[in-house]
């Protein structure tokens, strides 16, 4: 069973959700070759992300992406320390979870890194999905492995899709 749900709960950027859905499906089924997944992607504003970050991670302020893994193997792995759960690409047969992406943070990071918020949005989507695939970025050696895979997937998606079109053009009222 494959299910992808996209929700836009922010107003900072007007997002082309049909294109984002195609990008996400290309990532899941084309690049990662997943047959079974249940993924919710939520685009949120900084205040909502800050609430999620504080409530679930005990961190103050907003952040770019938060991932919630609902797979059974994730529940087992969460009982182990991060040293016992190194990067295991493809460790989970099915993917089940939610990725919350803060568009306010995407805009700020895009300015900082001289890129576009659309590219940052895709990077955060990839990053969240890699966490759901078993990648860990808590330690430098694992972070490097995850970053290389993230960069590779973003490059591939950038070649497949015109990411600039993730910005939906505002409609002009007559």
Tens place of pLDDT for every residue, the chain, 174 residues?
Answer: 899 999 999 999 999 999 999 999 999 999 999 999 999 999 999 999 999 999 999 999 999 999 999 997 655 555 454 444 555 555 556 899 999 999 999 999 999 999 999 999 999 999 999 999 999 999 999 999 999 999 999 999 999 999 999 998 765 555
- What count of other Cβ atoms lies within 10 Å of the Cβ of residue 159? 7
> Strand 37-44 to strand 95-102: parallel, antiparallel, or no bridges (unpaired)?
parallel
Give the global pTM: 0.88
CA dist 10 and 4 (Å) reads: 19
**Span 2-165 CATH architecture:** 3-Layer(aba) Sandwich (3.40)
- What count of other Cβ atoms lies within 10 Å of the Cβ of residue 155? 10
* 100 CB-near residues (< 8 Å, 6+ apart): 42, 44, 49, 52, 65, 66, 67, 68, 128
Contact of 11 with 146, CB cutoff 8 Å: no
What is the structure's pLDDT at 81? 47
Contact of 106 with 65, CB cutoff 8 Å: no
What is the structure's pLDDT at 1? 80
């Amino acid at each position: 069973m494959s299910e992808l749900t996209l929700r836009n709960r922010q107003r900072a950027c007007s997002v082309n959700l049909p294109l984002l859905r195609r990008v996400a499906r290309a990532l899941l089924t084309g690049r990662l070759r997943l047959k079974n997944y249940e993924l919710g992607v939520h685009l949120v504003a900084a205040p909502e992300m800050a609430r999620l970050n504080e409530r679930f991670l005990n961190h103050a302020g907003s952040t770019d992406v938060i991932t919630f893994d609902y797979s059974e193997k994730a529940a087992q792995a969460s009982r182990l320390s991060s040293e016992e759960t190194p990067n295991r690409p493809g460790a989970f047969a099915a993917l089940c979870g939610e990725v919350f992406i803060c568009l306010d943070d995407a805009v700020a990071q895009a300015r900082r890194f001289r890129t576009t918020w659309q590219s940052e949005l895709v990077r955060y989507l990839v990053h969240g999905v890699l966490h759901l695939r078993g990648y860990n970025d808590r330690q430098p050696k694992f972070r490097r492995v995850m970053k290389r895979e993230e960069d590779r997937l973003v490059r591939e998606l950038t070649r497949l899709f015109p990411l600039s079109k993730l910005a939906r053009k505002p409609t002009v009222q007559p």
